[in-house]
Amino acid sequence: MLKGRVYNHTEEFTLESGQLLPGFQLFYTTWGTLNEDRSNVVWVCHAFTGNAFVKDWWEGLFGEGKTFDPAKHFIVCANTLGGCYGSTGPLSINPDTGKPYYHSFPTLTNLDVVRSFDALRQHLGIEQINVLIGGSLGGQQALEWAIENPQVTKKLVQVASNARQSPWAIALNESQRMAIEQDVTWQLATDDAGLNGMRTARSMALLSYRNYHAYNQSQREHGPELKRTYKAASYQQHQGEKLAKRFNAFTYWQLTKMMDSHHVGRNRGGLEQALRQVQAETLVIGVDTDLLFPLNEQKFVANYIPKAQLQVIHSEAGHDGFLLETVQLAHHLDTFLQNKQYRKTWIPTVF
């Protein structure tokens, strides 16, 4: 049975920035049973707006008879620190003031997040993670963790992600934060401050999660009629609205900043040297139409991790293909996890 629990870290927690959190909590789920020799742990790091309920957003990979099966595996997924699905984040109460942190929540890095995850790992009595897997932001965190604690992870799977945030991705995130800043409510100390701006930010972000082709397929008008609102326009409105119902602008701000600071080479002698520290057997997966984390980024990661291989999946969807193309993902994961021979895959040579 999938169980949700809260881990309370009561000691002071020093962040990479030097700032302090007086403690934190992580909301996490476990699914399946830890076996006697504790060798069946699968740890999942979720993407930007994901949560600890992995079955809700990666259903094709997790469940009975699937690649990660709770009958065989002990599956753990924690909501990221800074998030809004049960872990300590900007809407949590600051014990020093008795009020929500909101704008004063310290800026976190992926290193802070994986240090919090590692505290949870120790609390759960897990010595080694058999498979550590994450996509997008979750892939950044999984890689950061495999470098920070190389002995902890046996197998690493990084999907549609990178070793450092590109200028392109930072520019996209900054533009989205500018949309939040334009919202007159953003300065208010309320849970819903900046929510209109966040609607716009999500609409902008979607353009980098998908691509020209995906919109042509799903949002093309069938006729030439003059309309007040075209399909693609109402789709953008709907996506903004959908996120506004389940997220907040403070966490949006926080997690985009977290992605922007992602650079596994920081304080480790550079990217190449950091990647060489990964001891885990590694599978790096890219999406051939990803505009946000293009294939050259996964190629770079796979190139420098000693025991790494790169596989490319095809998607019409762009970056979000990492959530949608679970049949292809399952094929590559099953092959990797069972040490089978790969069939030849197509890797574009021009980026």
User: Binding site: residue ranges?
Assistant: 202, 320
Identify whether the C-beta of residue 141 lies closer than 8 Å to the C-beta of residue 119. no
Pairing between strand 24-31 and 3-9? antiparallel
Separation CA 52–CA 86 (nearest Å): 9
Identify whether the C-beta of residue 7 lies closer than 8 Å to the C-beta of residue 26. yes
Buried b / exposed e over 19-35, threshold 16 CB at 10 Å, is eebeebbbbbbbbbebe
Separation CA 163–CA 264 (nearest Å): 6
* Contact string (CB under 6 A) for ligand HSE, positions 207-246, x = contact: --x-------------------------------------
Residue 299 tokens read as 């190629």
- Tell me which of ligand HSE, ligand ACO, none is bound by residue 281, counting a contact when its beta carbon lies within the kind-specific cut-off of 5 to 8 angstroms: none
Smaller CB distance to ligand HSE: residue 21 or 201? 201
* Contact string (CB under 6 A) for ligand ACO, positions 224-243, x = contact: -------x--xx--x---x-
Which residues, at least 6 apart from 38, have a Cβ–Cβ distance to it below 8 Å? 125, 126, 127, 128
Assess 300 for contact with ligand HSE (CB under 6 A). Answer: no
Residue type, 115: R
DSSP 198-230: HHHHHHHHHHHHS-HHHHHHHH--SS----SS-
Q: Of 7, 27, 48, 186, which one interacts with ligand HSE (CB under 6 A)?
A: 48
Q: Of 286, 320, 328, 332, which one interacts with ligand HSE (CB under 6 A)?
A: 320
Q: Which residue sits closest to ligand HSE, CB atoms considered?
A: 136
Segment interacting with ligand ACO (CB under 6 A) among 176-184, 273-281, 286-294, 317-325? 317-325
Segment interacting with ligand ACO (CB under 6 A) among 13-21, 26-34, 48-56, 291-299? 48-56
- Tell me which of ligand HSE, ligand ACO, none is bound by residue 136, counting a contact when its beta carbon lies within the kind-specific cut-off of 5 to 8 angstroms: ligand HSE
Assess 136 for contact with ligand HSE (CB under 6 A). Answer: yes
Separation CA 78–CA 57 (nearest Å): 14
- Tell me which of ligand HSE, ligand ACO, none is bound by residue 123, counting a contact when its beta carbon lies within the kind-specific cut-off of 5 to 8 angstroms: none
Q: Of 30, 49, 110, 279, which one interacts with ligand ACO (CB under 6 A)?
A: 49
Please give the residue ranges that form the binding site for ligand ACO (CB under 6 A). 47, 49-51, 56-57, 219, 231, 234-235, 238, 242, 246, 320, 323-324
